[in-house]
Structure 1
């Protein structure tokens, strides 16, 4: 028996006992609480701003990011910032974006995450390379758990997607929490209390 076979035999002999797959919980029947979601987002370093209409965002952003701040928005109905329509723009050209304003598909109460996919994300690097990130999500589009979130995903409707929870942070260095170490220095969630389609 050669060395390779010895190793593979030893690995095969030391496998853990097989276990049945866990039973997934049934879909939640209760709606996720907007207050609970807001508390979770704030607990992980984000800021929640309740709004009743998308136009409420304009004055908030203009007050906090006056010219010459570079703003990029994917909300076509708001007179804010640049529009990115070309997904092939080199990512490093976005490093000077002060604020990226994006529409999220839904939020998750369990961990405060918001789902973004290629339908509302013109460039994959944008939410990670900007200095500050703002996401809009409807309070009607909140789900209680990640299990519920994954049930909502249909991979045939997008070619890229990501959950974003809070601003960039790390505690690797001397167990000291640092915000904005590897990405956005802040996350603002505009929680829309009415249906944006109306």
Structure 2
């Protein structure tokens, strides 16, 4: 027996006793999910705009970014000022996108994260290469915790999926926080009212 086999044999003989994972029961939310979600998004550097109608998003973009803003939309029924090639193969061609608005499947109230998959994106690089990012999520699609989020995803498969939480951020040991260092400089979440 060589030294490698001896080490592996020793490790196999000295395994800890297997213990089942604890069942975690998250507490019931004390505030409405939408209020908790809005606070979560703001806490991580984003902002939430509540909208009754997706058409209000276009008006907001004009007001907040100016009428000359060149922006793209990956949301059905919401047309940006610029069209993206639906057959995008090279992500770096998105580097000139100033503002991108994408659809989120659901949001997580406890941390302000939004689940986005490739079926709602023309290219998976879009939410990370744009200067400003807008995500649209329905108020009825909010869940309380990440435990709830993973239960929603249990058993489903995706080619690509990501939780996006806030604009890009980085910090160093001297506690200098930089927003927009590696991705979008801002995140705006458009929270669609349940009445839609």
Question: TM-score scaled by structure 2?
Answer: 0.87
1:4 and 2:4 matched: yes
Instruction: Return the offset for 1:75.
Output: 2.3
- Secondary structure of 1:191's aligned partner: strand
1:165 and 2:178 matched: no
Structure 1 residues 11 and 172, CA, compared in 2 at 3 Å: closer, same or farther?
farther
Match of 1:151 in 2: 151
1:134 and 2:128 matched: no
Instruction: Return the offset for 1:6.
Output: 3.1
**Off by >6 Å, runs of 4+ in structure 1:** 26-31
Unaligned runs of 5+ in 1: none
1:97 and 2:103 matched: no
Q: Say whether the 8 Å CA contact 2:26–2:145 is kept in structure 1.
A: no
Q: Say whether the 8 Å CA contact 2:62–2:69 is kept in structure 1.
A: no
- Tell me the distance in 1 between the aligned counterparts of 2:143 and 2:126: 25
Instruction: Return the offset for 1:167.
Output: 0.7
Instruction: Return the offset for 1:155.
Output: 2.5
Match of 2:78 in 1: 78
Match of 1:60 in 2: 60
Structure 1 residues 28 and 7, CA, compared in 2 at 3 Å: closer, same or farther?
same
- Tell me the distance in 1 between the aligned counterparts of 2:195 and 2:82: 25
Q: Say whether the 8 Å CA contact 1:50–1:191 is kept in structure 2.
A: yes
- Secondary structure of 1:34's aligned partner: helix
Instruction: Return the offset for 1:63.
Output: 2.4
CA RMSD of superposed structures (Å): 2.5
Question: TM-score scaled by structure 1?
Answer: 0.86
Unaligned runs of 5+ in 2: none
- Secondary structure of 2:120's aligned partner: coil
Q: Say whether the 8 Å CA contact 1:140–1:195 is kept in structure 2.
A: no
- Tell me the distance in 2 between the aligned counterparts of 1:127 and 1:171: 21
